[in-house]
Amino acid sequence: MRFRSPATLAGPVRLAFTAESSAELPMTAERPRPRRREDFVHWLPIQTRWMDNDAYGHVNNVVYYSYFDTAVNEYLIRSGALDIEASDVIGLVVETACSYFSELAFPQALEAGVRAAHIGRSSVRYEVGIFAAGAATASAQGHFVHVYVDRANRKPAPLPEALRTALDRIHS
């Protein structure tokens, strides 16, 4: 990919793409649509914090990943499927993605909806929607994949029965 840069750096820097370089940019098939509340099974209220906002006055994109992690792990811990200090099998995140549809900002109250979209032998794909409290559609949604591994040797391990039972309750 070749960029043409301005001859001088006085003022804002703008990168211009040539027709040749823009053809190299990856394109996605279709923008996802916001999921609805009924697409999710487990719910966790989340209160935004002052520090969640960025310089643009809305929740920063990286904070959504923290919300995802919080919502999934809260479910696993409360359901008895995960003991973060003693479980022999732990989940490692190997893939994440997030799509954004509408801004959220402190001091809004939020709700995270969680579902297990796919349960494999040693992996799970969680899908999470972040909603303004009471909203019908997600302001952001995404997924992450946990591969479960033996805590000691970090090799993939089958899902323990307690985990599989908890996941079955939120599988849709």
pLDDT in tens, 118-167: 999 999 999 999 999 999 999 999 999 999 999 999 999 999 999 999 99
At 53-82, the pLDDT tens digits run 999 999 999 999 999 999 999 999 999 999
* Amino acid at position 24, single letter: E
User: The tokens of 105 are what?
Assistant: 């900002």
Query: Is the entire prediction scored with pTM above 0.85?
Result: no
Question: What 3-state class would DSSP assign to 116?
Answer: strand
Q: What number of H helices and E strands is found in the chain?
A: 3, 7
User: Residue 31: its pLDDT value, please?
Assistant: 87
pLDDT recorded at residue 27: 59
CA atoms within 13 A on the CB side of 119: 16
Task: Tell whether the model's pLDDT for residue 3 goes beyond 60.
Answer: no
99 in Cβ contact with 31 (< 8 Å): yes
Residue 28 has pLDDT above 80, yes or no: no
Q: Which residues, including other chains, have CB under 8 Å from residue 88's CB and lie 6 or more apart?
A: 150, 151, 152, 157, 160
Q: Which two tokens stand for residue 138?
A: 């997600």
Token couple for 78: 């409360």
- SS3 of 5, please? coil
Task: Find, among 128, 130, 133, 161, the residue nearest to 60 by Cα.
Answer: 130
- Return the C-alpha torsion angle 22, 27, 33, 34, nearest 10: -80
Domain 32-169, CATH: 3.10.129.10
